[in-house]
Amino acid sequence: MDKNQLEIIQSNFRNKEVSISFNSLIKFNPFFEINSNINVDKIDRQLFKKLSLEKIFENKEIIEKLNSNSKINFNIKRFRNNLIKSHSSNLNLAYGRLTFSSKIFISGGEINCRGDSLLIEEYPRLNFDCKFNIKDIKKLSNKVSISKNFKKETFDLNVVGSLNLLNKKINFKILIIDRIDKAKEEEIKYFKETFENILFEDDFFDIFREDKIKKFITEII
């Protein structure tokens, strides 16, 4: 038995708000590190409302000491009949810097995001690079209201920028539509306002709610 690490295999946690299963390897020496593979089968949205970014960032000394690698798979049953089909994320936290990648499969396509943030800064920003790749507009239209004037069969959107995690303000560096058309200044302004009005009208942790993604896709297509 290795006293420098603890391995947790096929563990489960369930209550009224959440149901998860996970495997974790916790290392104590030469430094503290957690490596986890987490499967989320159920989660109550109200749970996120109990989280506060402001309170989390008050503990910067603790954040700086945490080292973790987590793979999170959302296997929520209600996804199967809705817009979102599956959602997985990889999170790496080391010395206060968070790097992430996320993949969301939706009807007719997928959304891929990656980015990073130095969480121990006074005003941390999240840098991101997100791609909306819609391969089948007709299939998507069964879940989302799309304008009858939209005649394309596919749609691609690449957005690169950053957002202020505390002030909920977003900035775009690159915005490319259908891989060839770089957005004009007025289009960038429109996307900025749409992101902020829809995605940040509630708490930060509500960003990836399905109804918000639906509303955003409806606005941009």
Q: Rounded to whole angstroms, how far apart are CA atoms 50 and 43?
A: 13
* Residue pLDDT, tens place only, 178-198: 876 666 778 788 888 887 777
Indicate the pTM of the whole model: 0.83
Please report which confidence band the pLDDT of residue 50 belongs to, taking 50, 70 and 90 as the band edges.
confident
195 exposed, middle or buried (CB, 10 Å; 0-12, 13-18, 19+)?
buried
Estimate to the nearest angstrom the gap between the alpha carbon of 74 and the chain centroid. Answer: 12
* Residue pLDDT, tens place only, 88-105: 999 999 999 999 999 999
Q: Domain coordinates of the chain in residue numbers?
A: 52-66+80-220
- How large a percentage of the chain has pLDDT more than 90? 30
Q: Is the pLDDT reported for residue 67 higher than 70? A: yes
**What's the Cα-to-Cα distance from 66 to each of 12, 21, 27, 49, 92, rounded to whole Å?**
23, 22, 11, 24, 10
